[in-house]
Every structure is written in structure tokens, then in C-alpha cells.
Amino acid sequence: MPSTFERSPGAWRAAFVLALGGVFAWLYLRGHGLYPAVFADEWYYSKMARLAPLGEALLPSYLYLWLFSASNACGAAFLACVRIGNLALYFAALPFFYLTARRHTTQALAQLLTLFAAAAPLNAYTMYFMPEASYWFGFCVLSWIVLAQDHWRLSQQAVASGLVLGAMSLVKVHALFLLPALCLYLLVAAWLQGAAWLGRGLASAIIATLALLAVKFGLGWLLAGDAGLSLLGPFYQGNVDSGSTSPRLALLGPVAVSAMGHLMALAVLLGLPLAILLHCLASGALARRSAPTGRLLAWTFLMLGSAAGLAVAYTASLAAGEASEGVRLHLRYYSFVFPLLWLVTAVSAAPHGMVPDGGARWLRWTVAVPVLMLVIAAAVSLPTYSLSVVDGPDIAAMNMRRTAGHVTVVLQAALLLAWAAGRGNAARLFVLCLLPVTILVAQDRIGSFAAGHRDGNPGDRAGALVLDTVPAAERGRVTLVGRAQDLPQLMRAQFHIDHADSVALTLGEGAPVSEHQLPPGHTWLLIMGVHPAPFATAVRRTDEFTLLRMAPRSAAATP
């Protein structure tokens, strides 16, 4: 008997499109009218994209910056336009994800997973002046090329994937670290095709690398001039140079701490999909099944491993300078891979699954038990890590001290045990029950976070005061002063002042401002808190900040 979906495909398609439209409208309304939230990121991206030449950008995100420089046409409403652009790119990725999913599963499941991808916690980044939504679009296109276009010759896929990955590296430089995984994937894809695979795979990897470099440096040079020829850009290259003398053995501890945190977070959110993926690979499904299934398994594993590995390594390098950085879980560096794990789980839930029936049950338990131990460990140890909506909205919602975290741990553990025991409906229950629950819990947490940015704070009010008081032609002559802990508020004020030449100056508690500390030509001071500046006259004063003006100075008069 045909299913309801098969009897009324048109009605289901209409419902699918309406549901996507509803998610789009909901996300637009959620982000509408919010104050900026993520500093220093939003201020720096706004400054680099809109207020300064691309060649001066700290980050080599030249394609992203060039695209979003168009928000200057929106005037004072530039942030609203950026959010619309983010939403447009986020949803433009969904057809590519749907076509990828459709290549591996039924139309109904592909539509359901696409709807989940639209509602995924990753969409939190559409609220910010940050490149995550653009990066997600690039990754979906990249996955579509390698997973849904398997009728192309491998060399064609290598060229196309290299070009897309090169463009992604001009959105976020992190894409460069996906290149080794792409090259390994091309080798696996060649192996799945059969005879003479090694030479074909190596040639494809070289082609992809050359294509990436051509876009990275060619388009980078066209957009930013000589600055576009830098591999990592000033900021990340500076981090590499400053850490080049650090003992590598000293990083083992921070790497272990960060890796454990990420493993526990993944186990809580995606314990069953991870177990299924590992089981398929360990049981030889990669070799026994058809090329589409093998490609999906290899691509998901390699992309997750390389992106998560980068997050661990980068976090560990930051921990060398500040211990608190070592316990931050930056899931946003790899959460764009999560929908592929959902797809792997959905495919495994099909009647024939990925692994032939009668496979060794001991292998299921061998895979499930370590993942289960991570889930249990997360209930105890995950609260010792720093979880935030900005770093990882997925896991930030799973507070292990509250009901949401407890319920998620119990459900994930129960599904792992059921799957290990051979219950065929465990994967289906994850897709139809646990996954939507975790998405809804995360969206509730994101909504609470967004609501906290509907009202201004001292930085917003200080920036508004400058806009109301300082003539537009003089806003580049404003120096903002405060304590080191006030720096996010100073940057928030700079975001509203919206001039590349405004400068933030941090001082000790109650320390006076010296005239020689100010840049030449700066004649306005915005002081957060109490920092005496006797050489300037107060223009506006509140309990939170003071706006002062001083007589114009020449550059020659500055010591």
C-alpha cells in the first residue's frame, strides 16, 4: 500500500516549502532590531568590510568582506542588511543539502533533514556580523559536488571542489585545513571506483590543491592586492609566529583537555550518529557497499575529524597564553558537519541499512561502550568547561545541571544501548525524536540569548551619545577610554560610532588619561567609568560614561 507521502506528493512538497518559509520568517523576526552581540568579532568584521580598504584587513576573509561591503548601501541600517544577507546565504545552502540528502535517502527523509538543517542551532550565526552563514553555504555546495555529483569524472570533481574550497578560504581561512581531508577523500573515491585508483586519486588531489591555490591567491590578489597573497593573514600569521618558539610538548595537556571536552559534547549531542559512523567504517561498510554510501561515510568522517581537530589544536594554542581559553568549546568550527551525521543516521535506519544483517554484535558494543562512557562523563565533567551560545549554541543549551541536559543524556544513552543490542528502530528514533528535541531546546536557549540583546547596554548608549553629539566629520577623532574589562563595551560603542579611525584605550582602575596617550588629531574622549582627564572639558556626563572635548592638537605637538 502506498504511503501518505506517495499518495499526495504535491501536498507534502507544499508543506515542506511552507515550513521552510516559516523558519525563515521566524529567524528574520528573531534577529530584527537586535543590538550587536559578539565583540570584538562584529566590530572588526564591520570595520574591515565597510570602513577600511580590503588590503588592510586583519583576516584574509576577502571574499566575505567584499560581499558584505555592499551593506554600506543601507546606511545606518547596515546591520539589518547584513542579517538579511546572512539569512539569504544560509537558506541558499539548503537546496544543495537537500540534493545531497536525496542522493542517499528518500524524498520524505531528505525534506525532513533539510527542515532540521534550516532550524539547526547553526542558524544563530545569521544574527551576527560574522561569516559563519556564508561558510555554511560554501560547505553545502562543496558536499553537493563530492556526494551528489558522483556521475562526474573524478578530475572534474577535483577541480570543482578545489575551486569551492578556495573560495571558502576567502570567507574563513579555516577552510585551508580542510584541504588534507579533501585530498584523502579523493583517494578514497578513486579507490571505490576500482582499478588504477592510486594514480587517479593522487592526480585528483593535486588538481584540487592547485585549484584551491589559484582561487585563494588569484581572487585574493584581485580583491585585496598584495595582501591577498598572504596565506593566513596578519592576525593568524601573528599567532603562528608568536607561538613558534613554544615547546610542542607543553601543548599536550591543553590538547587533551580540549579534546575531551569536544568528545563529551559530541557524545551528548550526536552519540548515536557517531557510533553508527564508526561502526560502519570498522565493519568494512566502506568497501562492501555502493560508492554513494562509501563516499558519504568517508566524507563525513574526514570533514568532522579535520574540522574538530583544528578546533582542538587552535584552542590548545590559545590556552598557552590564557588558561581559561583552553576550556572553551568552539563547536562553531565544525558544527556545519552535523547535518551530514544526521544523514548517515537516516541512511542507516533504512530497511537494509549500511551494514549487512548478521554482522558481529560484539562490534556494536565495542563502539557503543566508549561513546556511552563519554555521555556519562559529560554529565559530570562538561560543566567544568566554558559553554556559550556564541561558541556553540548546540551544546550551550544542554546544561548538565538542569533538566534539558539530564534528559538528553538519558535519551542518548538509552538509544546507544538499544542500538548496541540490535534494536533496528534506534536510529529512526534519533532522527524523529531526539534530534528535533535537541534542536528545539537549543533554539529556546538562542532565543533567550537574543532577547537579552533587544535592550541597549552602556556601550550601546555611549555610542548613541556620540552619534547625537559629535559631528559626523569628527567621529574619527574619538578616543574611547576604559579598563581592560570594559573593552567589549568600548568596542560596542565603536560599532555604533562606525568610523575606522576611532581608537580604544584601556587603563588601570581609576588611572588618569594622559594627553600624550591620544592619537594625533583626536579631540574627543569617551570615558567609561572614572578616568580623570583634566585637559579636556566635559560635554555630556552620565553615571556610566562621560563625553569630553579638548582643543585641537597638531601632530607636531604630540610627544
- CB-CB contact of 117 with 94 (8 Å): yes
CB 157 within 8 A of CB 149: yes
Look at residues 422, 455, 488 and tell me which one is the last residue of a structural domain.
455
List strands edge to edge, sheet with 478-483. Answer: 503-507, 478-483, 524-528, 545-549, 537-541
Whether 527 is covered by a domain: the verdict is yes
Assess whether 418 and 318 both reside in one domain: yes
In the prediction, which pLDDT does 559 show? Answer: 38
Q: Please say whether the beta carbons of 320 and 250 come within 8 A.
A: yes
Q: What is the pLDDT of residue 290?
A: 62
- Nine-digit cell at 510? 581609576
Of 361, 362, 309, 376, the C-alpha closest to 337 is 309
What is the SS3 string spanning 398-456? Answer: CCCCCHHHHHHHHHHHHHHHHHHCCCCCHHHHHHHHHHHHHHHHHHHHHHHHHHCCCCC
| 101 contacts 110 by C-beta, under 8 angstroms | yes
491 and 508 together in one domain: yes
Task: Please indicate, yes or no, whether residues 130 and 7 belong to a single structural domain of this protein.
Answer: yes
**Coil, helix or strand for 36?**
coil
DSSP element (H, E) containing 317:
helix 291-319
d(C-alpha 208, C-alpha 204), whole Å: 6
Residue 320, pLDDT score:
66
Measure Cα distances from 171 to 143, 161, 168 in Å: 17, 15, 5
- Our count of domains for the chain comes to 3
Tell whether 462 and 438 lie within a shared domain: no
Q: Check: CB of residue 486 under 8 Å from CB of residue 506.
A: yes
* Residue 524 forms part of a structural domain: yes
Residue in 53, 29, 43 with CA at minimum distance from that of residue 463: 43
Q: At what angle do helices 403-420 and 435-451 cross, to 10 degrees?
A: 160
pLDDT of the residue at 233: 87
CA dihedral (350, 356, 357, 359) positive or negative = negative
Say if residues 310 and 255 touch (Cβ distance below 8 Å).
no
Regions of the chain short of the pLDDT cut 50: 1, 244-245, 357-358, 555-559
Domain shared by 355 and 413, yes or no = yes
> How many Cα atoms sit within 13 Å of 393 on the Cβ side?
24
d(CA 11, CA 117): 21
> What's the rounded Cα separation, in Å, for the pair 335 and 379?
21
Check whether residue 295 and residue 321 sit in a common domain. yes
Residue 529 falls in which region: left (phi positive, over 0), alpha (psi -120 to 50) or beta: left
Region label for 422, one of left (φ > 0), alpha (ψ between -120 and 50) or beta (otherwise):
left
Final residue of a domain: which of 170, 205, 240? 240
Between CA 261 and CA 308 the distance in angstroms is 11
Statement to judge: residues 34 and 76 lie in one domain: yes
Q: How high is the pLDDT of residue 6?
A: 56
Confirm whether 72 is domain-assigned: yes
Q: Is residue 7, in this structure, part of any structural domain at all?
A: yes
Residue 511 belongs to a domain: yes
Q: Are residues 354 and 326 in the same domain?
A: yes
Residue 81 lies in a domain: yes
Nearest to 276 by CA among 379, 345, 376: 345
29/70 same-domain check: yes
Cβ-in-10-Å burial (0-12, 13-18, 19+) of 519 comes to middle
Q: What is the largest CA-CA distance in the chain?
A: 89
Residue 272 sits in the same domain as residue 304: yes
| CB 20, CB 118: distance < 8 Å | yes
The number of helix segments (H) and strand segments (E) in the chain equals: 24, 5
Interatomic CA distance for residues 380 and 187, integer angstroms: 41
What is the residue type of 199?
A: G
Q: For the whole prediction, is pTM greater than 0.85?
A: yes
353: left (phi over 0), alpha (psi -120 to 50) or beta: left
Pick from 240, 275, 309: which residue ends a domain? Answer: 240
Q: For residue 247, tell me if it sits in a domain.
A: no
The answer to whether residues 435 and 519 belong to one domain is no
Does residue 26 contact residue 446 with C-beta atoms inside 8 Å?
no
- The answer to the question of residue 271 being in a domain is yes
Domain ranges, residue 538: 458-557
Distance CA 295, CA 182 (A): 12
| 208 and 256 together in one domain | no
Q: Give dist(CA 198, CA 221) in Å, integer.
A: 34
